[in-house]
Amino acid sequence: MITYFSDDEDAYLQWVQSNQDGYVVNLDKARRYPQYPMVHRASHKLISSPERANYTTNEFVKVCSTDLAALEKWSEEECGRRLNMCKTCMVSRT
């Protein structure tokens, strides 16, 4: 199952907290940046710290799942490209 978050910080942070073994795709709404879509582990504090804000507002959205293969398929179908792996938290893929 894939969950899409746009302009909903509370729901996004709740999903991350409840799915620490899951994955989060960071994507700019305009799809202009070549490094996106980028996938992170939900436990990566760069994309999940409640002390920060604007995870799903302004120009970014999050696409989340506990199934990495489903997110890879989504990325190819919706964005026309493969996911970029975060070099910090996705060093060893499981």
pLDDT per position as a tens digit, 27-60: 988 888 888 999 999 999 888 877 777 888 888 8
Single-letter amino acid code for the residue at 77: E
Distance of CA 57 to the CA centre of its chain: 13
pLDDT of residue 68: 97
pLDDT band at 92 (very low <50, low <70, confident <90, very high): low
The rounded mean pLDDT for the chain is 90
**Given a cut of 50, is residue 94 above it in pLDDT?**
no
Task: Return the pLDDT at 58.
Answer: 84
Q: Residue 14: how many CB atoms within 10 A of its CB?
A: 12
